[in-house]
Chain A
Amino acid sequence: MFACLHLTSPPLPSADLAALARQFSPLVEQTSAGTVVCSIAGLDRLIGTPHQIAAEIGRRGAAMGLQANLAIAADPDTAVLAAVNLPGVTVIPPGREAEVLGDLPVAALPATAGFLETLDRWGVATLADLAALPAIGLVGRLGEEGERMRRLALGQSNRPLQATPAPRDYTAGLNLDQPLALLEPLLFAISSLIHDLFRQLRRQALATNRMTLRLALEDRTAGTRTLEFPLPMHEAGVLLKQVQLDLEAHPPGAAVVSLEVRLDPVKPRRLQGGLFCPAAPEPDKLRIVLARIAALVGADRVGSPAILDTHRPDAYAVRPHALEVGVAESAAKGAPAQRDDRPLRLVSRLFRPALVAAVKLRQGRPAWLAARGVKGAVVAAAGPWRTSGDWWAPTAWARDEWDVGLDDGALYRIYQETASARWFVDGVYD
């Protein structure tokens, strides 16, 4: 048996209707924005007859403030037709579908305008008229759609429900008998929760891209750590390693008395690598490597470089997760570009921060240079080139740049700040 709920008050969100249906059945199909149909098979043993089930659904719907038509039938499409077109509660006993639906106009069917026009020209006005037509003749004239509409009119569509899974909350918690002050036993407890949650995710063919760990501490405070990933993750071991590295970098301030793990479900990324794609790091291994390096050198010092859209010298950003995305994109692109010859270009190595320098001038041009690790007479110099920018911001700069060659053969780019008249060595051409 199937029950269909059809909203009669449009402003109410359809999600409430689905929630009401899910109180009675896990198999719920959202046929339209204001209509849901669910299976009520087995409820006779829990609640009773179809009339008692309808009364219970009506009672809970009223408690939720819903105004809806309700129909119960042995066929899902019959229940939908009845709920949409018949007001109030309709319970259709098995075998009497055609009788109950017979008075409905053919316009109630989910048919095309051309189909309805044809029926109108034939003088077929109600579902009973349509059901009375011979099946072979109808199929011969109107094709498969004609037969489908005739079966709807008879209440015999007999299609399976296209149930949509209910949104699930992947949260697991644990109250500890003894407070845990050490990381290892805490990870042991977290591990069991993460593995359980990943098993649940795998059953639904899902992955996660965000984990939230809430810790209740012995000193009555709480701590929350959130790990986000640019690509969906489906390995519990990899996530556990990330949690370990994160907790090592940010240990809780006191012993832990209870913990809760929440995973945000997302669809997993499905990708087929090409035969001619160059090898790339495995995403899970790469995540762990990046997390370990970040724990060693700092999270802001590892990632892919990106040039900022400004003329300010040495303006760059480090994007921590860009590499993972880049690896996934390159795998999706397929065969790479061909290698080609390229000329050697003298590039710059930068001193960060720039080295404070002492410069002797001769006729307004650098003649001698000294800084930490840099010393010598200037044999050739090109410049000055004045650059400035960001005058409207605290990051304003204005400087005169020179390219200088020292007597030891090294080539440097130096500059003098316009405001302070101090000299710096910016980098070396190498």
Chain B
Amino acid sequence: MGEEKAKIAVASILPSTVLWDFKTRPAESLLPLPQPDLRSLLPGLPRGAITEITGPRSSGRTALVHSLLAASTVAGEVSAIVDCHDSFDPASAQGVGADLGKLLWVQCGGRVDHAMKTADLILHGGGFGLVVLDLCEVPAAALQRLPPSCWYRFQRAVVHTPTVLVVAGGQPNAGSCAARRLEMGPRQAVWLGRAPFQLLGGVSVRAGLRKPVCPEPVSLWAAVLGE
């Protein structure tokens, strides 16, 4: 039965006041991005889906993750960060405004299997607004050994929930399971003053949306915390 026939069949059953459009989907619930520049690229991170944030070191990927944690916890949500290599800096998170009392921090001591298992437990426990799986310092070889089924499991765990799962890493990992992918970089450090009297001012980054593909990247400025 074609779409038109199905429409006619359903319309004959339902009252005439009911408008029926098979192509209309409910509006996607989003965790808004705190940066107006980034919102021109992506209005927010979809809830109930996986979003990947990738990039090399000093590309601002952790800065973006921290600002998301701050936005989520300040809004009253409970968030979690699964820290694979114990590299999360609570002072930096507090510096960007995160409410540490509403943040669950799990240090996995470099064990990728522990990180994946912990993320799975948190996602299946439910109730978290934002869950960050930080795989930034994990070698690519270790990530490639992960079974792809774990990403499908995460996808199934978060779907139809208000949780945003952010996977931060140096490279894309979740493949087709990720609903969005933000790529940070290349970057350019900005130094204030002249040598030998210099100060690190910040970094200028170009962020691009790789899934769905957006051809126009945006430029971001990330000042050093405290400047």
A residues in contact (CB < 8 Å) with B: 277-282, 285-286, 288-290, 292-293, 296-297, 301-307, 314, 316, 318, 322-323, 325-327, 329-330, 333, 335-352, 363, 365, 373, 380-382, 403, 405, 408-411, 427-430
Contact = CB atoms under 8 A, between A and B. Distances in A.
B interface residue count range (under 10 / 10 to 19 / 20 to 34 / 35 or more): 35 or more
A381 B75 CA distance: 38
A430 B96 CA distance: 13
Contacts of B93: 305, 347
A346 B136 contact: no
A304 B105 contact: yes
A336 B127 contact: no
B122 interface: yes
A310 to B, nearest CB: 11
A349 B89 contact: yes
Contact of B121 (A292, A325, A340, A341): A292
A409 B186 contact: yes
A87 to B, nearest CB: 60
Contact of B35 (A343, A365, A382): A343
A405 B71 CA distance: 29
A318 B121 CA distance: 19
Q: Classify the secondary structure of B's interface with A.
A: mixed
A280 B94 CA distance: 21
Contacts of A280: 77-78, 127
B156 interface: no
Contacts of B121: 289, 292-293, 296
A411 B58 CA distance: 6
Given A297-B108, A297-B109, A304-B103, A350 B87 contact: yes
A381 B200 CA distance: 8
B63 interface: yes
B199 A382 contact: yes
Contacts of A282: 126-127
Contact of B86 (A306, A348, A352, A380): A352
B71 A339 contact: yes
B104 A302 contact: yes
Interface stretch (B4-12, B13-21, B175-183, B219-227): B219-227
B114 A297 contact: yes
Nearest to B127: A281
A142 B210 CA distance: 86
A322 B101 contact: yes
B90 A347 contact: no
A342 B71 contact: yes
Contacts of B95: 345, 347
B61 A430 contact: yes
A-B pairs with lowest CB-CB distance, top 9: A336-B76, A281-B127, A305-B90, A347-B92, A289-B125, A430-B62, A326-B101, A410-B57, A344-B222
B100 A304 contact: yes
Contacts of B225: 345-348
Given A342-B34, A345-B222, A409-B188, 9 more contacts: A293-B122, A301-B106, A301-B107, A337-B76, A342-B71, A342-B96, A347-B92, A347-B96, A411-B58
A410 to B, nearest CB: 4
Nearest to A323: B104
Contacts of B56: 408-410
A354 to B, nearest CB: 11
Interface in B76-132: 76-78, 86-97, 99-109, 111, 114, 117-118, 121-122, 125-129
Contacts of B173: none
Contact of B200 (A292, A303, A382): A382
Contacts of B111: 297
Interface in B59-73: 59-64, 66-67, 70-71
B106 A281 contact: no
A279 B129 contact: yes
A311 B189 CA distance: 27
B72 to A, nearest CB: 9
Nearest to B31: A339
A336 B87 contact: no
A335 B91 CA distance: 26
B96 A345 contact: yes
Nearest to B224: A346
A157 B126 CA distance: 57
B77 A314 contact: no
B89 A301 contact: no
Contact of A346 (B36, B129, B203): B203
Given A289-B122, A380-B189, A381-B198, A344 B220 contact: yes
